[in-house]
Chains A and B, each alone.
Chain A
Amino acid sequence: MGSPVLKLVAQRVALGVLLLFAVSVLIFAGTQILPGDVAQSILGQAATPQALANLRAQLGLNDPAYVRYFRWLAGLLHGDLGHALSNGQDIATSVGDRLKNTLFLAFWAAIVAVPLAITLGLIAVRHKDGFIDKLISATTLATISLPEFFIGYVLIYYVAVYLQWFPSVSTVYDGMSFADRMRAIALPATTLTLVVLAHMMRMTRAAILNVMQSAYIETAELKGLSPFEIIRRHAFPNAIAPIVNVVMLNLAYLVVGVVVVEVIFVYPGMGQYLVDHVAKRDIPVVQACGIIFAAVYICLNIIADIASILSNPRLRHPK
């Protein structure tokens, strides 16, 4: 592996880190301009001005914004996300469990959605403009067009209430067996799969159709390869870069966009946690969740970039 690849990868990683710092500034600034006073919301309307002033001094709220930002940032870099205002718990500990749950759900949704989307994309290309292609496109477009809460409730109604195959409330707790856990997440994972499927499948189809115009596809055809061999062996490897990009975008969505789905199925993940604490004006928790979501998003996009770079033989094997 040559140095140009290393250089490009290092560049991407450095850019990602820089971006993360920029995002932390944005999140901090965003939470600062929210209306309301933290001390007030902790002590309630009945607090005396003296008590408020004391608490402000104790929380360091009288310091200039940049000092508070760097204090927060230093904490972040040490893995200290601060304490929740509402219940005084350490955020890092409570987020840890929630994040694990969210990643668990996202992981299994991705395990189903990604191969399914790519396979459907390949099949759609194979039968381009035919009945099967149109059926796949219509179905996946229908599922992406419906709001996720609607899909969620439809699934709850038919599968959980009517057929009673899976529970409608996805409660998970420590010490639950793996099988029970899988049963619990079946419906939210299905909902997420249906939501992200269309985007990835359409992109796979478009990227491969684009490559199918190339002269080397004709070469493959004139070697007597079957249509599916041509798509899989000759078209797909050259369409990896755009496909990986859209897959990563959707994986990021599975982690950071699950708020609605988690709320519907009462799943104890990051989304639920965030929504609960936004309602309580718990600024440190909102900041912590924001920065974690941003980090996941940026990391997945860096992975997509690196995968695109590595999938290019010109960069992997320079002259």
Chain B
Amino acid sequence: MARTEGKTSKTGKLLEIHNLRIEATVYPPGGDPENVVIVDDVSLTLEPGKVLGLIGESGAGKSTVGLSSMGYGRGGVRITGGKVILNGRDILKDRPGLRKLRGNEVCYVAQSAAAAFNPAHRLMRQVVEASVKHGVCSRAEAERRAVALFRELSLPDPEHIGERFPHQVSGGQLQRVMTAMALCSQPDLIVFDEPTTALDVTTQIDVLAAIKKAIRDTGVAALYITHDLAVVAQVSDDIMVLRHGKKVEYGATQQIIGEPKEEYTRALVSVHHIAHEEKKPAPQPLLLVKNVTASYGGGTVKVLKNVSVDINAGQTLAVVGESGSGKSTLARAITGLLPPSEGSISFEGRTLPPRLAGRSKEDLRQLQMIYQMADVAMNPRQTVGTIIGRPLQFYFGMRGRERKERVLELLDKIEMGKGFLDRYPAELSGGQKQRVCIARSLAAKPKLIICDEVTSALDPLVANGILKLLLELQKEENVAYLFITHDLATVKSIADSIAVMYRGEVVRYGPKSEVLKPPFDAYTDLLLSSVPQMQVGWLEKAISGRRMEAAGN
């Protein structure tokens, strides 16, 4: 379906980026504005119909490089050097012409389709908007084409899904509608910016397959941006690894994942492996959750149905499942934020009052929590010292020098020096913020810490560091974890026992070795088989071998 007018340059290249340099001005707290280089001396070429994966951790400049192909700088970012040659012309030299190119020659698929669709308009209107605007075809023709694309991307009810509003469609489906929107104006190039990162692992595989099929069938070229090497290995022909705005390695997919040349790429390829010995279950569990049922809206929506699990002192129970499976609600029930309607929760042999307000200070101290978004879990106007010192003062009445010494001790435990004492959260990296949150929960000397998706927002290498730290601390402090996650690789590295949740119920529960041993029930099988593997051709194998459909589909 790609354009046939032969707009590509004589060299046969669709996109050439030469020595790209991108800068931005940052305003550090309390300091003078500084110029920072976000992308430095990056060059790449893309032939028509090919897919190039751009990978790296956050801040590596991969989105910035991707968007430069549309001459777009997000949030005041400036392209200060180099050339971006698309279809044989340097697009940076023709600023007014950029508007004709965007949504026409190059289209964009954003990370969160849920946020990228305008909530006020029906989907169809948004899908055909660019095609109509650029005069690619008439509205009626564009709508016909959109319906065909909806069908191609295996969306349910392709004839009528366009009449819906964004909030009426699930996240995985929206992501596919967004892909259809990008394909509708028949571009030469699509920039996919982490299109599956925000999705559940079981939904991701469907969207990934749909995107791959659409790319193959329409012959469009793509820049595929992600931090997940296993995902990009499924769709791209070549891969470029970026770090701190510079190219680390650039080569064919098979070479990058099979024989990486650079140290950093090797670290990325082998990131998920932490050897963790499973501990034997203790006779007396620390926390006992018995037949807990909980609901929202005064009993109208049951989100936990008869859930029973227990956690042993100094061990880790991992709770896995996709979004909406009730795993975070379980944490809310245990902490008393959502009192269960039935069942009981006991801690060290005594039953905990169901409501938060009914619990003693001691109960509160024993049970701490770490959140997914370290950013919003800290008061941005307090220094690291105050944040970590607060539970010391609250639970143990520590003040002055005594408190400061303990804070330093805790900072040492999370492998951060005393230089961080007077820093504000805004001055820390994502991984450092999460470490501070860990130190804050440890300060209370709890017996159990609930970790709610604590590594999901972090880059793989950083997340790996956090997991290692958590395991280390468990050994030292004998603290138990209730580890909520949707990432099975994380579970393998950290858990002693596993509970698999599906629609508010525990469908599989036991020691790690048993839960991960076949035969599996249908849902656990779906979950396990959906985790992307770092090998070319995994996607096709996984799709053909599946026994049940993902819930978010």
Q: Check A225 for interface membership: any CB of B closer than 8 A.
A: yes
Number of interface residues of B (CB under 8 A): 30
Q: Check B72 for interface membership: any CB of A closer than 8 A.
A: yes
Number of interface residues of A (CB under 8 A): 21
Which B residue sits closest to A316, measured CB to CB? B165
Is B120's CB under 8 angstroms from A219's CB? no
- Given contacts A215-B115, A219-B110, whether A317 and B102 have CB atoms under 8 Å apart is no
Q: Check A218 for interface membership: any CB of B closer than 8 A.
A: yes
In this complex, the member of A220, A225, A237, A313 whose beta carbon has the largest number of chain B beta carbons within 10 angstroms is A313
Interface residues in A35-62 by Cβ distance below 8 A to B read none
Interface residues in B69-107 by Cβ distance below 8 A to A read 70, 72, 74, 98-104, 107
Name which of B127-135, B266-274, B513-521 contacts chain A: B127-135
Is A237's CB under 8 angstroms from B120's CB? yes
- Shortest Cβ distance from residue A165 to the other chain B in the assembled complex, whole angstroms: 43
Q: Check B351 for interface membership: any CB of A closer than 8 A.
A: no
Q: Which of these, A218, A226, A314, contacts B119 with CB under 8 Å?
A: A314
Q: Check A224 for interface membership: any CB of B closer than 8 A.
A: yes
Q: Check A222 for interface membership: any CB of B closer than 8 A.
A: yes
- Given contacts A215-B110, A313-B167, A317-B165, whether A222 and B119 have CB atoms under 8 Å apart is no
- Shortest Cβ distance from residue B346 to the other chain A in the assembled complex, whole angstroms: 38
Is A219's CB under 8 angstroms from B99's CB? no
Residues on A with C-beta less than 8 A from B104 are 224
Which A residue sits closest to B111, measured CB to CB? A215
Q: Check A234 for interface membership: any CB of B closer than 8 A.
A: yes
Residues on A with C-beta less than 8 A from B102 are 221-224
Assembled-state Cα–Cα distance A215/B194 (Å): 14
Assembled-state Cα–Cα distance A188/B121 (Å): 40
Residues on B with C-beta less than 8 A from A219 are 108, 110, 116-118, 126
Is B165's CB under 8 angstroms from A313's CB? yes
Assembled-state Cα–Cα distance A237/B107 (Å): 24
Is B118's CB under 8 angstroms from A238's CB? yes
- Shortest Cβ distance from residue A8 to the other chain B in the assembled complex, whole angstroms: 17
Q: Check A214 for interface membership: any CB of B closer than 8 A.
A: yes
Is B119's CB under 8 angstroms from A224's CB? no
Is A224's CB under 8 angstroms from B134's CB? yes
Is B100's CB under 8 angstroms from A224's CB? yes
Provide 5 A-B residue pairs closer than 8 Å at the C-beta atoms, listed in order of the A residue: A221-B72, A223-B133, A224-B98, A224-B99, A224-B101
- A residues apposed to B, CB below 8 Å: 214-216, 218-226, 229, 234, 237-238, 311, 313-314, 317, 319
3 nearest A-B residue pairs (beta carbon): A223-B103, A224-B102, A237-B120
* Extra pairs beyond A215-B110, A216-B119, A224-B101 (20, CB < 8 Å): A214-B115, A216-B115, A216-B116, A219-B108, A219-B126, A221-B72, A221-B102, A222-B72, A222-B108, A223-B102, A224-B100, A224-B102, A224-B133, A225-B99, A226-B99, A229-B133, A313-B119, A313-B120, A313-B165, A314-B167
